[in-house]
Structure 1
Amino acid sequence: MPSSERPPTLDPAAAARWAALPVRQGLSPWLHEEIASRMLERLDFIRLQPQQWAHWEPLRGGIEAHRQLLQRYPKAPVWLVAGQPSQARAALEASRGRWWQLSRWTGPATALSTPPAGAVQMLWANMLLHHAADPQALIADWHRALAVDGFLMFSCLGPDTLRELRQIYAQKGWPEPAHEFTDMHDWGDMLVHAGFAEPVMDMERITLSYETPERLLAELRELGRNLHGQRFSGLRGRRWRAQLLQALQALARPDEQGRFCLTFEVVYGHALKPVPRHKVQSESQIGLQDMRQMLQARKAGFRQL
């Protein structure tokens, strides 16, 4: 993918370092679990029952949500996909019951690897895409893993996220506190470009409040890092931290009993993988996997007649 088409302010090296960091105590961030629960509600409107499904980066995406997905699809084998094998193993262990619980020994088969092409009917990726240095390549991987008529469910942060913090940094003349997040309409365009059909995008703004600026900063560190290419080039000292904590006093809202508030824009996406379409030319080449999927889809259509 040409560098000109990648997120313009995201530092790929910083993104790789963040992806390699272990999740604190093997626990998923609270906000990620909350957003995953809202994604689960959207599954109620989808009739397709996946025979197999994949969870991309389950430890960061939400272990509690993963347990609920296992209960929703108790017989469907699942693929746990993570950039770090240790995180996939940690997610598997965290999602299992205690050794004396029956669910630990009777749950669906689980693979700790990327699924083969066309292997899964659902792909779940919560709060991942905004950290990707090459999001179009990641979306292409998702499309490749899905079977024809399979569906993608994902969420990520949108451009209004941390707008209060960005204003404070701008007023202080500091570099940006985070890279720029992509608009939901651009995500929809990328999905279509990758071969998905009928993308449905929506968003909501969530306001989180904190008792102290210190707690606010601690939660931000759980959610991610500043991946902006023009961020501060080195560590800051205690004096700068004191200035930051003082500046964060501007986030206190009287209508929230003086708590410190931040806005998060959450983007939700859903899309289908359609039957491959090929232009009729004097000479056309169709891959063997595409041919199999087209024939299977045609047979399924005849059975419904």
Structure 2
Amino acid sequence: MTTTQRPPTLDPLAVSRWQRSAPPASPWLHEEVARRMLERLQWIKLQPQAWAHWGALRGGLEAHAQLASRYPDSACFVAEAHSDRAQQAMKNIAKPWWNPKQWMAAPTRFEAPPPASVDMLWANMALHEAADPQALLAQWHQALKVNGFLMFSCLGPDTARELRALYAQLGWPPAGHQLTDMHDWGDMLVQTGFAEPVMDMERITLTYETPARLLQELRELGRNFHPARFPALRGRAWKARLEQALGQHLAVGADGRLSLTFEVIYGHALKAQPKIKVSALSAVSVQDMRAMLHDKRDKS
């Protein structure tokens, strides 16, 4: 995969449809990953004056409440892909005007942050669904102030490896689009202009009582975005065959439950001071010039 093009096995139209129709709630796995991301904030000393939550509705409403409690004096931007999703997020996050907590709280705006406006950008379980991840990283980079930091998570290539292997064994089209490797995300961060990227990964194994419950969980988490996926809806007979195959071929623990692997990638990176190439004729943006002058005053 090149870092200047969208993932080669992701259908952008399918992604757009899913982002509009996805359940307006945070799946359990997203909240669990967000909880583990929150633990990593103990190593971050910077107290942001303003921060952004990218995709809060699906990324973790419980996590948003904890972040707001952690940074009570910080302004917040909640960015959603579509206006109707922003309205849903507002209903779940905004406090009523008559609530006394609203009077003293820092403002929350339900829109994408302006350029160079936030010290932290939080994006949980969103990047692997981006039709153009390089462009999305560029948006995040632009929104951050110099020395601001990005915290994100996404799914990695080993996600649902058992299901992928089963589809291949049955001669079916791919079960999902190819997911980007942790090291490739690090390279893309650097190419976008981020500095000091720190990447790590873990595998989470979820267990299910029945194949039907497993499939329900997958439907809550996302869809198959592969361009070569089944071209039409399947019937009840196909679903019954799939559930039977899952029961026969997936690993079963001592408790009789079916197991499915999820690879979760965590990333952290800084927006460094812009580097200006000086020549006989150099062009410097006003935003970069302000950032450099501000940094010099701080050091002096």
What do the CA deviations read for 1:45-104 (whole angstroms, capped 9, x no partner)?
000000000011100100000000000000111011111122223223213457875434
> Residues 22 and 255 (structure 1 numbering): CA distance in 2 closer, same or farther, change over 3 Å?
closer
Aligned partners of 1:54 and 1:120 also within 8 Å: yes
Identity %: 58
Superposition map of 1:143-154 within 5 A: 143-154=141-152
Confirm or deny that 1:11 pairs with 2:19: no
Which residues of structure 2 form unaligned runs of 5+?
none
Confirm or deny that 1:265 pairs with 2:267: no
The worse-fitting range, judged by mean Cα deviation, of 102-111 and 227-236 is 102-111
Letter in 1 for 2:215: L
Could you say what secondary structure the match of 1:49 adopts? coil
Runs (4+) of structure 1 exceeding 6 A deviation are none
Distance 1:152 1:83 in 2: 18
Residue matched to 1:40: 38
Superposition map of 1:242-253 within 5 A: 242-253=240-251
Number of paired residues?
A: 299
Aligned partners of 2:205 and 2:259 also within 8 Å: yes
Distance 2:3 2:229 in 1: 19
Letter in 2 for 1:95: I
TM-score, normalised by the number of residues in structure 2? 0.96
What do the CA deviations read for 1:198-249 (whole angstroms, capped 9, x no partner)?
0000000000001111010001011000000100000111111111011001
Superposition map of 1:79-118 within 5 A: 79-96=77-94, 102-118=100-116
Confirm or deny that 1:290 pairs with 2:288: yes
Letter in 2 for 1:230: A
Letter in 2 for 1:269: G
The Cα shift of 1:251 comes to: 4.8
Could you say what secondary structure the match of 2:234 adopts? coil
Distance 1:102 1:253 in 2: 52
Residue matched to 1:204: 202
Residue matched to 1:164: 162
Distance 1:20 1:185 in 2: 30
Letter in 2 for 1:38: R
Which residues of structure 1 form unaligned runs of 5+?
none
Superposition map of 1:159-198 within 5 A: 159-198=157-196
Distance 2:192 2:3 in 1: 17
Letter in 2 for 1:20: R
TM-score, normalised by the number of residues in structure 1? 0.94
Letter in 2 for 1:65: A
Confirm or deny that 1:127 pairs with 2:120: no
> Residues 214 and 184 (structure 1 numbering): CA distance in 2 closer, same or farther, change over 3 Å?
same
Could you say what secondary structure the match of 1:261 adopts? strand
The Cα shift of 1:6 comes to: 1.6
Q: 2:67 aligns with which of 66, 69, 76?
A: 69
The worse-fitting range, judged by mean Cα deviation, of 272-281 and 143-152 is 272-281
Letter in 2 for 1:57: G
Letter in 2 for 1:266: V
Residue matched to 1:78: 76
The Cα shift of 1:192 comes to: 0.3
The Cα shift of 1:22 comes to: 4.5
Residue matched to 1:240: 238
> Residues 86 and 270 (structure 1 numbering): CA distance in 2 closer, same or farther, change over 3 Å?
same
Could you say what secondary structure the match of 1:278 adopts? coil
Letter in 2 for 1:185: H
Could you say what secondary structure the match of 1:230 adopts? coil
Distance 1:21 1:227 in 2: 14
Could you say what secondary structure the match of 2:253 adopts? helix
Residue matched to 1:215: 213
Distance 2:194 2:106 in 1: 28
